Amino acid sequence: MRTRVRRTAVLAAAAGLLALLPVGSASATPAPPDLPVGTLYQAVKDMPASVQRGHTITLVVWYMQRSKDVLAPQQYAVSTWNPTGVDARGSSAPGVTVTWLDPATNRWQPSNWEYDHGAYQSLMLPESPHLTYGSGYWAHIDVRITFSSTVASGTWHIQPDAPEGYTLLTPQGHGVFGFLAFSKQPTDFAVSVRH
């Protein structure tokens, strides 16, 4: 009997609190940000097995998402490193430059953000205009990676990440909590840089 009275009192109190809320203020709870709301796919075209120092390689990095939402890319990135070529500053990528064919302007742009002494380079897009891609659409970014004539020869690792940063939007343009899970982790390509 006591248990029933307590349950009834708790339910009545909860109902009373809900009655105090204005009509229309209740909304569906969004998915917690640690749960994927869809899948991100990535493919790289034209990755060579080797390149000569002083030359440039051009890659096409394709990406597509599957979700009920719209993808608005904000940043693209590529990591380049040579495990045996670390210099005195701790960088494994001196002499490597990355340029991007900006999909918003259709002009080649240098990386506008670098980390780890240039081993990680990215193109951050301006907030506006937003490029948006619906589910199932294969978008791409063109990337040029130039190896100067002074880079360490040997095996280099290249890992494109497109998009590295993004926002998910509802079809009405509202932000979405959650993220896209990779169909597989971005590929780490081994490229031989020779004299």
* All residues at 6 or more sequence positions from 154 whose CB lies less than 8 Å from its CB, including other chains: 82, 84, 85, 192, 193
Residue whose token pair is 């998402």:
65
The strand pairing partners of 156, in sequence order, are: 191
Query: Does the residue 63 lie in any domain?
Result: yes
Asked if residue 186 has pLDDT above 80, the reply is no
Could you list the residue range(s) of the whole structural domain that residue 73 is in?
A: 36-194
Total count of domains within the chain = 1
Q: What is the pLDDT of residue 184?
A: 79
| Strand 139-147, strand 96-101: pairing | antiparallel
- Would you give the distance in Å from CA 117 to the centre of its chain? 20
Query: Does the residue 70 lie in any domain?
Result: yes
Q: What is the pLDDT of residue 56?
A: 96
pLDDT digits (tens, 9 = 90+) for 42-74: 999 889 999 999 999 999 999 999 999 999 999
Query: Does the residue 83 lie in any domain?
Result: yes
Query: Does the residue 9 lie in any domain?
Result: no
Phi-psi region for residue 42, left (φ > 0), alpha (ψ -120 to 50) or beta? beta
Query: Does the residue 102 lie in any domain?
Result: yes
Residue 85 pLDDT level (bands cut at 50, 70, 90): low
Length of the chain: 195
Asked if residue 8 has pLDDT above 50, the reply is no
> Which of 6-10, 113-117, 161-165: highest mean pLDDT?
161-165
Question: Closest Cα partner for 103 from 62, 131, 72, 137?
Answer: 131
The strand pairing partners of 183, in sequence order, are: none
pLDDT averaged over every residue in the chain: 80
Residue 30 pLDDT level (bands cut at 50, 70, 90): low
